[in-house]
Amino acid sequence: MANILISIKPQYVEKIFNGSKRYEYRTRLAKRPVDKLIIYSTSPVMKVVGEAEVIDTLKCNREELWNKTKEYSGVTKEAFNRYFPIDKDACAYALGKTTIYQEPKDLKDYGIKAAPQSFIYL
């Protein structure tokens, strides 16, 4: 199993840690099985702020994914539809236990120079 460092906008990071967002949507999943997301909060935070256990992965059409995840999506249906093209599979990591770091970390602490566009294996 792998850990990935993943870039997420601060408003969604907050929802992950308060429990209102239990799915992290992606246009594609990592090729290797993932057991933990290491969460990098993008600008203006620009720090690694915590982690989330991955308890499942989902990959299906857009409407099916929305119907399965909407209760804890943390996004509006409109934002969800803008993110996923109608003719492609939609993906999500189902999140379990989360941990907020007492001291946010810099990317350099992981040997990374720049934030990944999507994710990077650790």
Question: Are 50 and 22 within 8 A, CB to CB?
Answer: no
User: What are the strands, taking DSSP E only, across the chain?
Assistant: 2-8, 23-26, 34-41, 47-60, 90-105, 119-121
- Whether the per-residue pLDDT at 1 is higher than 90: the answer is no
Tens digit of pLDDT for each residue in 11-65? 999 999 999 999 999 999 999 999 999 999 999 999 999 999 999 999 999 999 9
What is the average pLDDT value for the chain, to the nearest integer? 96
**Dihedral angle over CA of 47, 1, 121, 84, nearest 10:** -80
Tell me the fold of 2-121.
Answer: 2.30.130
The β-bridge partners of 56 are: 94
Instruction: Report the distance separating Cα 51 and Cα 98, nearest Å.
Output: 6
| Whether this model's pTM surpasses 0.75 | yes
